Amino acid sequence: MSKLKHEDLMSLEEYHEARDDFRRKAIEHKKIRQVPLDEHATLYFEDRLTMQYQIQEMLRIEKIFQKEAIQEELDAYNPLIPDGTNWKATFMLEYTDVEERRKRLAELVGIEHKVYVKVDGHDRVYAVANEDLERSTEDKTSSVHFLRFELTPEMIESVKRGEPIYMGIDYPGYQVEVGPVPEVTARALAEDLD
């Protein structure tokens, strides 16, 4: 999947005109790329369109129009676009109650390294987490992590053949597995492997 370049982005004026339609398209696209692991943990699989939407929104909110500043946004978000042999996801731990969130994030230090995907017939692939910067301390984990799942050529072939895909967390006291993921999600993830 190719990375985004400056010429792939709309100017602030163009985006202002196209935003409603583009936003609707991006939100619909993101829905099929979301995998809830339970009521508190969700994987949001990123791709070129989700990152273009994120960048366009950042440019709009921050009113960024200088070429160098736009390049900084591209440099920040392009690493979240899959490279053809992997899936990239934002992993979110969501607790609405502030005290529960504080307590749980303190209990779940390192959970981001225990999130996995599993293609039927193959071993689990555990996430490579937060390559940009560490998001956990010894006292707590972050509620947002950026994950990469690197797949073998054999796994990629299995995904493209339509073999079931499972996802989960294998952390002490927090174990969950879901799957197989819906067919529409599996097809979207297979497209990331081109």
Residue 137 clears pLDDT 80, i.e. is over it: no
Q: Using one digit for the tens of pLDDT, what is the confidence trace for 70-117?
A: 999 999 899 999 999 999 999 999 999 999 999 999 999 999 999 999
Instruction: Considering the domain delimited by 37-46+83-194, tell me its CATH architecture.
Output: Sandwich (2.60)
Asked whether the beta carbons of 109 and 159 are under 8 A apart, the reply is no
Tally of CB atoms within 10 A around 24: 10
Start-end of CATH 2.60.40 domains in the chain? 37-46+83-194
Asked whether the beta carbons of 6 and 70 are under 8 A apart, the reply is yes
Q: Please provide the distance, in angstroms rounded to a whole number, between the alpha carbons at the two ends of the chain.
A: 7
Q: Using one digit for the tens of pLDDT, what is the confidence trace for 176-188?
A: 999 999 999 999 9
Asked whether the beta carbons of 105 and 87 are under 8 A apart, the reply is no
Distance (Å, rounded) from C-alpha 131 to C-alpha 7?
27
Residue 42's pLDDT is: 98
User: Rounded to two decimals, what is the model's pTM?
Assistant: 0.90
